[in-house]
Chains A and B, each alone.
Chain A
Amino acid sequence: MDDSVHSRTRAQAAPGTQTLNFTLNGEPRTLEVAPNAVLLDVLREQIGLGGTKKGCDHGQCGACTVHVDGQSMNSCLRLAVMCEGQHVTTVEGLARDGELHPIQQNFLECDAYQCGYCTPGQMMSATALLNDERVGTDDASVKEAMSGNICRCGAYKNIVEAIQKSRQQLSYDATQKEGTA
């Protein structure tokens, strides 16, 4: 790749910006953002975290899903300035200390993707629903809850398999933790 092209970028203050203080993947951040800047674009263009994807830019495909204070949200439908004081988690915040999150490991092993473009959004929705007691644990409930995340490659079967495998592992981990506590 040409050296001058990279996936990190400069912080740039344009005229008429506002100061935004929020926590991104556990780290406090202060940024100057345009009032019309959407969280998705700030993540991708201003901060240089390209893992959160733009698939439709108006809340229809789910590729831009992030967690805001633990809730899954379409980052394309949220102005960046609305995140003042909030905790935002992106796909870059899923792995910890170089270890893949169980959902990432199971997406890898179940081949729960093809092109990989919708994948961060699928995983962010999946990790949110695994913590959401309102969503049933059966395949049909998972499919219903995941239907805001379109995968045009059609890897749905493997995605559901990866989610259900993660559920088993996460509940196993939780049981183990309780046992050792």
Chain B
Amino acid sequence: MNDMTQPNVVGQRTPRIDGEFKLTGHAGYTGELHADNMLYGYPVSATIANGKLESLELDEARAMPGVVDIFHHGHFETLHRSPNSMAHGDMVNEVRLPFEDERIYYHGQYVALVVAETFEQARAAAQRVIARYTKMSGATAGLLQTDAEGELQESSGTSRGDPEAAFGGAEVKVDSTYQIAAESHLQMEMHATLAEWHDDGQRLVVHESTQGVFFQRNAMARVFGLAQENLEVISHYIGSGFGNKLFMWPHAVATTVAARMTGRPVKVVLPRQQDMSSGGNRPASRQRIRLGADRSGKLTSVIHDSTTETSLVHQYVDGCGSATPSFYACDNVSTSQRVLEVNHGTPCPMRAPGEVSGIFALETAMDELAVELDMDPVELRLKNNAELDPASGLPWSSKHLDECLTSAAKRFGWENRNPAVGSMRDGDEIIGYGMASCTWSAGRQPCEARVELRADGSLFAACGTQDIGTGTYTIVAQAVAELTGADLSRIEVKLGETSLPAGPLSGGSMATATVLPAVAAAVRDALDAIKEVAIGSGGAFEGSDADSLSAEAGCLTDGNRRVSFEEVLETSKLSSVNGQGSAAPGNEQNEYAFRSFGAHFVEIRIDPEISRVRVARVVSSIDIGRAINPPTARNQVEGGIVMGVGMGLLEKLDYDPRDARLINANVADYIVPTHADAPEIDVELLDYPDFKHNEFGGRGVGEIGLTGVAPAIANAIYHATGKRYRDLPITIEDLLAAD
């Protein structure tokens, strides 16, 4: 076995193996695929948020050129009820099937799907569909527009010690409420489905831009009553997802029904407006944090009570408190979670779901506590650093938060910070320094993989996971190269098909730690197989002991002689050998707690004349175990920081308080960071491989970079202005109101 403490390819900078396809325009994302005889679908969505669809006037639309059919309630296939189970791998993002009834629960809900010969014809006809509604009063425009408390989720709360009593008796207290607006994923590629039935409706192939081909296959098999082996879901390239492509949405079901009922392949790419209204969002949250501490800054109580939104058609719980019990050493901690039904499109996981909101509240509260204590916020965090996981009592597999805090502080120049509010200036600008810790859990799932060594000299690795832009194709190739010594250019990787060995969702920062051990097991199985071939009759190492052979540089060697894999195979007249591998988390899960930590330091600059805030600089140190491919891992953290600037200062889905209609479902009115908004970024990835988590030592990196950015910005704005902003985003209007 290779020595993973000193790898040759893993941990080394490796340009993406799929890069050239993306850079030449030949990658093939779902929306640009074509099937023979394909039709185009264009959904029509509700223009009210609460009421009933009374009628659809379709005559004019039906008479438009190229229109083949228009599907709607009353003209749609009867389906089986949607499944929704994480354990069974068939969770969906919205259990209500399209056109199920005439009730309208949210603005953007599909009321019809027009199918036509060309995209232009489908769009033109969709615009001629006239829907008549009865509007109902009492739409809930959003959590932050009401005082409603929502339903307590008994299973989501935790408690240790006696937090209420400890808070009551604390020497120093913070008791604050934080509100975060709903956000849009705004992944660049909209949801897209291309559905094709074969063999007279017995077999289904669905191309979907998804973070989970197996989840969608399993869900579709249930909805359409098909055996899983008669249904294939394919997703080779995904224009990212950030969580809203984890599970199936109604557009995929509508498209697939349209394909069956028309007898032709149908493609639907959601228009951006519909993608934003009906394709997922991060729900708004309201959180109350109570912190108690003694005069020395030691936390004595943490109470974190959260409420988030869900839709009227699907229960989604965005658990804000999930990191809190593990964050700081404190004997008395409780969390609670409530959920309020609102007339919005269904929310779903969005990058660092729940925790990123919770960490905004907790890390802003910690800054407030530092101010109360007149203590440096870095010192306060170091003082409360948890040496063990306080939630489970288990030791951390590997934790270096203290080094992250001190290293990032040093590179940032934190020692130059004058803690007095508004004391730091540069010309007309007020400078604010703020910081926050960040964290994300380190999960791992069961996984299977297959590896072939081929007589043409190529090596092939396959797994039914996806590459959503994080670089999974490339790290799989690195793992194969590491264990065989073969050159990366010889390695072909296939992902994103349910015909491949079962792989995990691309989500939760779990794919790397989940997939690579299974790939390694498959490589070892393939190497065992080729060794058996080599020592067999007429083999390249006939009569040798298999244990005396090892792999190096894409060859087998006995220490004296090297024979390439292809020569071994040709000698024995074989086209290939095949290795199967599987891997799963084991007993280490009962022995250690697994979580990544880091720290962000932020410099903001405010122009007081125009109340403009800019994030000038972010310096971060993050401990993710080993980065398998350092540039792509760093890119994830840098991208998370950019998204954090959006969460802190820009992003807000705006629902009309009168009738719950989403009023900024477009890329101009929903503002995300552009090039000009991106700060100067300095990310350090600590390099402490976590071999307790998996043999490659990497813990995953997709979410952690986003956590902690928004509170660091808010804390920096406090430092500059003396105003404590507890609601996100912090807009220019908020700053003007403070004057």
Contact = CB atoms under 8 A, between A and B. Distances in A.
Interface in A32-48: 34, 36-37, 41, 44-45, 48
Given A45-B118, A150-B672, A1 B236 contact: yes
A111 B15 contact: yes
Interface string A83-97: 000000011101100
B15 A108 contact: yes
Given A14-B121, A41-B119, A114-B240, A150 B674 contact: yes
B638 A115 contact: no
Interface in A1-50: 1-2, 4-10, 12, 14-16, 34, 36-37, 41, 44-45, 48-50
Contacts of A63: 188
Nearest to A106: B23
B147 interface: no
A130 to B, nearest CB: 15
B33 interface: yes
A120 B25 contact: yes
A171 interface: no
Nearest to A123: B23
B352 interface: no
A108 B20 contact: yes
Interface string B226-237: 000000101011
A153 B24 contact: no
Interface stretch (B317-325, B592-600, B628-636): B628-636
A179 to B, nearest CB: 29
Contacts of B190: 54-55
Interface string B29-49: 101111110101000000000
B673 interface: yes
A53 B34 CA distance: 15
A115 B19 CA distance: 10
Contacts of B24: 51, 91-92, 94-95, 100, 104
Contacts of A159: 675
Contacts of B194: 5
B22 A34 contact: no
A97 to B, nearest CB: 13
A54 B209 CA distance: 14
A117 B240 contact: yes
A45 B117 contact: no
A2 B673 CA distance: 38
A92 B36 contact: no
Contact of A14 (B26, B65, B186): B65
A157 B638 contact: yes
B23 A107 contact: yes
A108 B471 CA distance: 12
Contacts of A151: 188, 675
A45 to B, nearest CB: 5
B269 interface: yes
Given A108-B16, A150-B188, A115 B238 contact: yes
A60 B666 contact: yes
A104 B678 CA distance: 22
B105 interface: no
A7 B28 contact: yes
Given A60-B666, A108-B23, A4 B237 contact: no
B277 to A, nearest CB: 14
A156 B66 CA distance: 42
Nearest to A49: B25
Given A12-B118, A116-B237, A154-B642, A2 B196 contact: yes
Contacts of A158: 635, 638
B19 A54 contact: no
B675 A4 contact: no
Contacts of A7: 26, 28, 32-34
A14 B117 contact: yes
A117 B675 contact: no
B667 interface: yes
A63 B354 CA distance: 30
A108 to B, nearest CB: 5
A119 interface: yes
Given A14-B117, A61-B667, A115 B189 contact: yes
Interface in B681-700: 681
A57 B672 contact: no
B27 interface: yes
Contacts of A152: 185-188, 240, 242, 643, 672
Nearest to A7: B28
A123 B631 CA distance: 20
A167 B715 CA distance: 38
A144 B636 contact: no
Interface in B177-211: 185-190, 194, 196, 205, 207
Interface in A130-163: 142-144, 146-160
Contacts of B238: 115
Given A54-B190, A109-B15, A150-B672, A5 B23 contact: no
A72 interface: no
B239 A53 contact: yes
B639 interface: yes
A16 B65 contact: yes
Q: How large is the interface on B (under 10, 10 to 19, 20 to 34, 35 or more residues)?
A: 35 or more
Interface string B462-491: 000000111100000000000000000000
A105 to B, nearest CB: 8
A144 B126 CA distance: 37
A26 B248 CA distance: 41
B120 interface: yes
B272 A57 contact: yes
Interface string B635-674: 1101111110000000000000000000000111000111
B124 interface: yes
B673 A154 contact: yes
A125 B672 CA distance: 19
Nearest to B239: A117
B225 interface: no
Contacts of B632: 111, 114
Contacts of A54: 31, 190, 269
B676 interface: yes
A147 B25 contact: no
B34 A117 contact: no
A115 B20 contact: no
A63 B625 CA distance: 34
A6 B15 contact: no
Given A116-B22, A117-B188, A154 B240 contact: no
Contacts of A6: 33-35
Interface in B707-732: none
Contact of A156 (B16, B187, B269, B675): B675
A154 B29 contact: no
A115 B21 CA distance: 11
B393 interface: no
B23 A55 contact: no
B25 A117 contact: no
Given A50-B33, A152-B187, A157-B681, 19 more contacts: A5-B207, A12-B118, A15-B66, A16-B65, A41-B119, A44-B31, A56-B667, A92-B25, A104-B20, A114-B469, A115-B238, A117-B239, A119-B22, A150-B672, A150-B674, A152-B186, A153-B469, A153-B639, A154-B673
Interface of A: 1-2, 4-10, 12, 14-16, 34, 36-37, 41, 44-45, 48-58, 60-61, 63, 90-92, 94-95, 100, 104, 107-109, 111, 113-120, 123, 142-144, 146-160
25 contacts: A2-B232, A5-B265, A14-B118, A37-B120, A51-B24, A54-B269, A91-B23, A92-B26, A104-B24, A113-B22, A114-B639, A115-B469, A117-B187, A143-B676, A143-B678, A146-B674, A147-B674, A147-B675, A152-B185, A152-B186, A153-B469, A154-B678, A155-B635, A157-B638, A157-B678
Interface of B: 15-16, 18-20, 22-29, 31-36, 38, 40, 65-66, 117-121, 124, 185-190, 194, 196, 205, 207, 232, 234, 236-240, 242, 265, 269, 271-272, 468-471, 631-632, 635-636, 638-643, 666-668, 672-678, 681
